[in-house]
Amino acid sequence: MPSPRRGRPLAALLLVPLLAPLALTAGCASGPAAPGAATARPSGSLTPMDPPRIGDVPRLTEAGDRTLPIEAYLLSGEQFRQYDAAQTVLVTRCVRGFGLEYARPAGAGSAPSQSQTSHRYDPVELADVSVHGYHAPDPGGARKPSGGPSMSPELTTVLGTGLGPGGKPAPGSAAEFRGKALPPGGCVGAAQRELTARGGTGRDADVAVGINYEGFERSMTDPRVKTVFQDWSRCMGDRGYSYATPGDALKDSRWAATTTPSAEEIATATADVDCKARTNVVGVWFTVETAYENELIRQHLPELTAVKAADDAMLELARSVTATGS
């Protein structure tokens, strides 16, 4: 089963469109953790917690139109885009100060627009699995080159490599250009520093990312989720498939051995989605995970409140920068 989406760090979001020809990459919606972000801990390392109470469980075949409580403390796709636009304004101004021009590559700077639940419990769509099975529709799409013009060495030098997770210049930035001192981290670093001057860090806070993962981990060991997994397993058994959990079906090594789905894979994934719907796996799982997140948020509320205030200040500054233009 998919792991929780990790928000793309704001610093990397700008580095991708600005420095795409240098092959710098950032974590995508379901990609690797952002630099400095808390990583998922194995469930065995979590401190014991009593299963939280839940209310009525809705019947859900998918949860893409729902949000998890922690999303209030994670940066949304729209907020990423607001920051991205402001950073482009500041970078453009800075580059001009060194006698160069920066033209943003067409189509660059995309940010995740889906919620954390969009693919959290996949697969859930019959129309998708009936064609792709457990394969992604376009597994190489995120790695396709932008097709934009290559960047000159001079512009690459002035842009720099931005700031690392600790707010210090990332390795590789030059100290000067044509005898004029460059800001630490180059123009990208200067823009990031200005936008986080009133608060925010340019990435999702570790505490919020940690809760995003911990709630997911805890939910998979919850007795109510284990029970619905057993119901799903029996449903799959009635169709001739032997899997203990949906994750076991998704991670069957046979699917990774081919670049295109086999008829058997499609049939298995189709049965998987149908059994999820019949046993209400998504409804139970989402409800239980929500309950864990609410409890974790309660435990960390002072930290999360400070995170949200800092991010709000950062985004307010970003909007003011964008309003002035380049």
Mean pLDDT of 283-305: 98
Which tokens is 224 given?
């109510």
CA dist., res. 28 & res. 18, Å (int):
16
Alpha helical stretches, state H, the chain: 10-18, 77-96, 126-132, 153-159, 186-195, 206-220, 223-238, 246-250, 253-256, 263-279, 281-299, 301-324
Looking at the predicted structure, is the pLDDT value of residue 37 above 50? no
Tens digit of each residue's pLDDT (9 = 90 or more) over 125-176: 999 999 999 998 865 544 454 445 678 999 999 999 999 877 889 899 999 9
- Identify the pLDDT of residue 5: 61
The single residue listed with the structure tokens 């864990």 is 292
Q: What's the full length of the chain, in residues?
A: 326
Residue 181 β-bridge partners: 176
- Identify the pLDDT of residue 56: 96
- Identify the pLDDT of residue 164: 86
- Identify the pLDDT of residue 107: 55
Tens digit of each residue's pLDDT (9 = 90 or more) over 242-254: 999 999 999 999 9
- Identify the pLDDT of residue 28: 28
Tens digit of each residue's pLDDT (9 = 90 or more) over 270-286: 999 999 999 999 999 99
Tens digit of each residue's pLDDT (9 = 90 or more) over 44-88: 578 999 999 999 999 999 999 999 999 999 999 999 999 999 999
Other beta carbons less than 10 A from residue 324's beta carbon: 9
